[in-house]
Amino acid sequence: MGLNLLSICRRGLHTSPARLQVIQGVAPTKRICIVGAGPAGFYAAQLLLKQLSDCVVDVVEKLPVPFGLVRFGVAPDHPEVKNVINTFTKTAEHPRLRYFGNVSLGTDVSLKELRERYHAVLLTYGADQDRELELENEQQGNVISARKFVAWYNGLPGAENLNPDLNGRDVTIVGQGNVAVDVARMLLSPLDALRVTDTTEYALEALSRSQVERVHLVGRRGPLQAAFTIKELREMLKLPNVDTRWRTDDFSGVDSLVEKLQRPRKRLTELMLKSLKEQGRASGAAGSKQFLPIFLRAPKAINLGEMEFSVTKLQEDYAVATDNTERLPSDLILRSIGYKSSCVDSDINFDTRRGRVHNTEGRVLKDTEKIDPGLYVAGWLGTGPTGVILTTMSGAFAVAKSICDDIAANVLDTSCAKPGYDAADKRVVTWDGWKRIDQFESEAGKAKGKPREKIVSIQEMLKVAGV
Ligand SMILES: Cc1cc2nc3c(=O)[nH]c(=O)nc-3n(C[C@H](O)[C@H](O)[C@H](O)COP(=O)(O)OP(=O)(O)OC[C@H]3O[C@@H](n4cnc5c(N)ncnc54)[C@H](O)[C@@H]3O)c2cc1C
């Protein structure tokens, strides 16, 4: 179909036909916009491009650089996890995909505008806030979120000035998920192991001066409810010069329950019990650091240099506070109790309480029940901030499939052409621009024996991208 045959929906839209873009001679009949270039966005794009041979997918990303938490969340010493970037790159280089970096929904473009310019909009902008303990003194300087600490060592623009105070001996991490363990590992790992990763140079420098010796990893519930997984625990147990010390009382009665547990939980519990049994025999060499998982403690108060916890007991699977308390020395407190999404545009039907977009299986709801045709959500923004990349992938595939189904069932009106994002006069980073940044970072890293040295300043990213 040639351009002159396209009928253009112009309701409220002021776009000249000249601005309609045709990629490699394909007249797009279905234009889909994905907001956010993280795993959910890329996996959804992959399925859409495969299933809909006449669609064009535009990815709009707030930062000049793609990959979301794969770049800014996944721990630098887990490079194998970052291999998904190769798959995302293949998708991004598909001739029917366009990447618009440095374009933020809610600031540079509104949802209303995107909906006018596309047949379908899929929101996958993730979770960029964190849940709070809601304790007094939580805003004081020595309490920071694990999210910010992760962003700091991973070079998220804006996080470089965090300056976590690593001059004290004791760090208390509240929360026991894998993010909490990542943070503990970064604090306790030998520096030489981190120097060969893409940890930012300023973080390496700060960690080299760190006085931290003990990391407490505190959870409300017991060992049978621990949220970290076996791979992450194994890594902690293998860290050189670090003793893991469990509390025997936390494991009371656990032995007898092991046989009844489901396999992953059983293996994790067996590993904890094995480590507990062996800890008396650990050498505890002078100067060694300690990793101290502590169960059945709920945060109660933050005081100068210490944190107070209620001793809890389990009722069913819930932790209930008792009258007993315990104080832990805490020079630095890292809150790691979950991420939270934010509402970036007032037209988004956002569930503030749960910190995600109201939806049913990825179809965004207009009110409590009615679906808003043409608007979708996937990834952490739709499900809440849980799940690994694989979980995000399955969810994103399912939502992309729903878009295909809705198009096939004519739920979406795709009879008239849509113009897509108008990037004119904007400082947009294209995929080629990202490749220039990528090359620059890789070369800067090579000189130091690192996979890359990330650019942290947005202005510098734009400069290197040639924008
Ligand atoms: C610290 C940490 C470590 C992790 N480690 C692992 C691991 O080792 N293995 C594993 O499998 N999983 C890991 N995960 C989980 C994994 O990162 C997530 O499952 C996945 O990234 C979620 O993908 P997403 O696309 O929903 O969100 P994100 O990855 O957050 O992507 C969202 C994208 O949207 C962009 N964006 C935000 N706001 C806007 C806006 N207004 N306009 C346009 N774009 C916007 C963001 O810049 C980002 O690029 C980890 C998570 C964290 C937090």
CATH code where residue 176 lies: 3.50.50.60
Atom 26 (ligand 1) nearest CA: 379
Residue 389 Cβ < 6 Å to ligand 1: yes
Angstrom distance (rounded) from CA 354 to CA 288: 41
Same-domain status, 230 and 295: yes
Contacts of 377 by beta carbon, 8 Å cutoff, 6+ apart:
122, 123, 124, 356, 357, 359, 362, 364, 399
Same-domain status, 121 and 141: no
Same-domain status, 256 and 334: yes
* Burial class of residue 394 (count of CB atoms within 10 Å of its CB; 0-12, 13-18, 19+): exposed
Same-domain status, 176 and 84: no
CA of 395 to the centre of ligand 1 (A): 14
The sheet with strand 120-123 has its strands ordered as 97-101, 55-61, 30-35, 120-123, 371-377, 363-365, 359-360
Classify residue 169: in a domain, yes or no: yes
Same-domain status, 77 and 205: no
- 117 annotated ligand binder: no
CA 226 to centroid of chain Cα atoms: 20
Same-domain status, 163 and 241: yes
CATH number of the structural domain spanning residue 100: 3.40.50.720
Classify residue 434: in a domain, yes or no: no
Residue 69 Cβ < 6 Å to ligand 1: yes
- 84 annotated ligand binder: no
Are the C-beta atoms of residues 181 and 226 closer than 8 Å to each other? Answer: no
List the one residue out of 454, 442, 447, 465 whose CA is nearest residue 160.
454
Are the C-beta atoms of residues 157 and 458 closer than 8 Å to each other? Answer: yes
Among 125, 131, 231, 397, residue to substitute to test ligand 1 (most atoms within 8 Å of Cβ): 125
Q: What is the pLDDT of residue 279?
A: 86
Classify residue 158: in a domain, yes or no: yes
Classify residue 314: in a domain, yes or no: yes
Are the C-beta atoms of residues 184 and 215 closer than 8 Å to each other? Answer: yes
- 460 annotated ligand binder: no
CA of 384 to the centre of ligand 1 (A): 11
Classify residue 74: in a domain, yes or no: yes
Atom 23 (ligand 1) nearest CA: 39
| Per-residue pLDDT tens listing for the chain (467 residues) | 333 333 445 443 443 333 344 444 444 589 999 999 999 999 999 999 999 999 999 999 999 999 999 999 999 999 999 999 999 999 999 999 999 999 999 999 999 999 999 999 999 999 999 999 999 999 888 999 999 999 999 999 999 999 999 999 999 999 999 999 999 999 999 999 999 999 999 999 999 999 999 999 999 999 999 999 999 999 999 999 999 999 999 999 999 999 999 999 999 999 999 999 998 665 555 448 999 999 999 999 999 999 999 999 999 889 999 999 999 999 999 999 999 999 999 999 999 988 999 999 999 999 878 999 999 999 999 999 999 999 999 999 999 999 999 999 999 989 899 999 999 889 999 999 999 999 999 999 999 999 999 999 999 999 999 99
Residue 121 Cβ < 6 Å to ligand 1: no
Which residues partner with 306 through β-bridges?
303, 329
Same-domain status, 88 and 136: no
Angstrom distance (rounded) from CA 154 to CA 274: 33
CA of 68 to the centre of ligand 1 (A): 5
Q: What is the pLDDT of residue 4?
A: 36
Classify residue 436: in a domain, yes or no: no
Classify residue 189: in a domain, yes or no: yes
Of the candidates 308, 339, 370, which is a domain's last residue? 339
Classify residue 322: in a domain, yes or no: yes
Atom 30 (ligand 1) nearest CA: 126
Of the candidates 289, 310, 339, which is a domain's last residue? 339
* Domain extent at residue 18: 3-128+341-428
Burial of 3-17, coded b for 16+ CB within 10 Å and e otherwise, reads eeebeebeeeeeeee
Contacts of 20 by beta carbon, 8 Å cutoff, 6+ apart:
3, 6, 8, 417, 419, 420
- Number of separate domains in the chain: 2
Angstrom distance (rounded) from CA 191 to CA 204: 7
Same-domain status, 143 and 98: no
Same-domain status, 329 and 347: no
Same-domain status, 212 and 292: yes
Same-domain status, 209 and 358: no
Of the candidates 339, 366, 398, which is a domain's last residue? 339
Among 35, 60, 74, residue to substitute to test ligand 1 (most atoms within 8 Å of Cβ): 74
Angstrom distance (rounded) from CA 188 to CA 213: 8
Same-domain status, 60 and 107: yes
How much is the pTM?
0.93
